[in-house]
Chains A and B, each alone.
Chain A
């Protein structure tokens, strides 16, 4: 089955700086890679996703890059703000198969 690794497990960033979280996956058939933000005790919120037919996607301060050859994808948050503090999870699956394999999570702390 799919195995998703995520690094780092914790990340502290000064407000206004950029944050980068990286994930690798094992199943070359995976073709859908969402990123979720989860606040304590709440459901994961989809913040951005990418499908394997593109290498990069951007939405305002958030961007995701995908390297299919190396089987890794990254989340980039620019101009970080205190409200970006949360736990972020990457995930992978086959498009059309709703079963997600999650990474281990990154606790992001934005330092005011």
Chain B
């Protein structure tokens, strides 16, 4: 089946710094990708829709200037957490649709210290 890959799987960063997470569709093109955030013992919450060649669409309550999304090609979307704070520590996961099936990346654990 289609594969969506995320990198890095785990990252630790200092407060105030920025960190970039990549989401790649390995064997298909994705004009749209989705970014979710999952806090411990909670559900997946959609943060934003990443649109190839245009601006991302953010869900209510998600700061677009803090969570920068770039979808520069049909196989790559990046999420940059800017000026990270400990409360941004979470599991970030992307998804993409191929053949009417939704595929998730492996997820990225972000710890801000």
Contacts and interface: CB of A to CB of B under 8 A. Distances in A.
Interface of A: 34, 41-44, 46, 89, 95-96, 98-105
Contacts of B49: 99
Given A98-B34, A98-B96, A100-B46, A43 B101 contact: no
Given A89-B44, A102-B43, A102-B44, A43 B104 contact: yes
Main secondary structure of the interface of B (DSSP, over half): strand
Q: Chain A interface secondary structure, helix, strand, loop or mixed?
A: loop
Given A34-B102, A43-B106, A98 B95 contact: yes
Interface string B55-86: 00000000000000000000000000000000
Interface residues of B, number: 21
A19 to B, nearest CB: 19
Given A41-B91, A43-B93, A100 B102 contact: yes
Contact of B95 (A41, A42, A100, A101): A100
Would you list the 4 A-B pairs with minimal beta carbon distance, nearest first?
A98-B97, A43-B104, A102-B43, A102-B44
A99 B42 contact: no
A101 B104 contact: no
Contacts of B101: 46
A99 B34 contact: yes
A93 to B, nearest CB: 9
Nearest to B45: A102
A96 B102 CA distance: 10
Interface in B97-113: 97, 100-102, 104-107, 109
A99 B43 CA distance: 15
A95 B100 contact: yes
Q: Which of A96, A98, A103, A105 has the most CB atoms of chain B within a 10 A radius of its CB? A: A98
Contact of A46 (B45, B102, B105, B106): B102
A41 B49 CA distance: 22
